[in-house]
Amino acid sequence: MSDVRDEIARLEERVEALAVSIERCRKVSLAAKIAILVGGAWLALTLLALVTFTPSLFFGAIAAAIGGVVLLGSNATTWNETAAALKQAEAARMTLIGSIDLTVVDDGVKRLH
């Protein structure tokens, strides 16, 4: 019985760690989208001649846009794999909890409210 409870505790720790990882993926995804937006906007402003052409800023904008796309794609893969692992860990935890012979604590107790 204690082995099952230890396994449940281990799975709960894993679920918490995966949830933290998914939150980190959400933040990275937001940063990648911002990099794409800022890089693309600067490129558009430069190509429309609304800002002065500066080679370092122009190539920096290209790098930001491309880097954001690459980061977003890589992060999406990580996010999907982590979400799948989270579902699997939660399912395993629920299976283990279902296998424990739980007893009802307040069976037959009268409630006043």
Per-residue pLDDT of 26-76, as tens digits, reads: 999 999 999 999 999 999 999 998 999 999 999 999 999 999 999 999 999
What is the distance between the alpha carbons of residues 19 and 11, in angstroms, rounded to a whole number?
Answer: 12
Report the distance separating Cα 91 and Cα 89, nearest Å: 5
**Rounded CA separation 31/42 (Å):** 16
d(CA 29, CA 12): 26
18-32, 56-70, 95-109, range with the lowest pLDDT: 95-109
Percent of the chain with pLDDT over 70: 91
- Look up the pTM and report it: 0.73
3-state class of 5 per DSSP?
helix
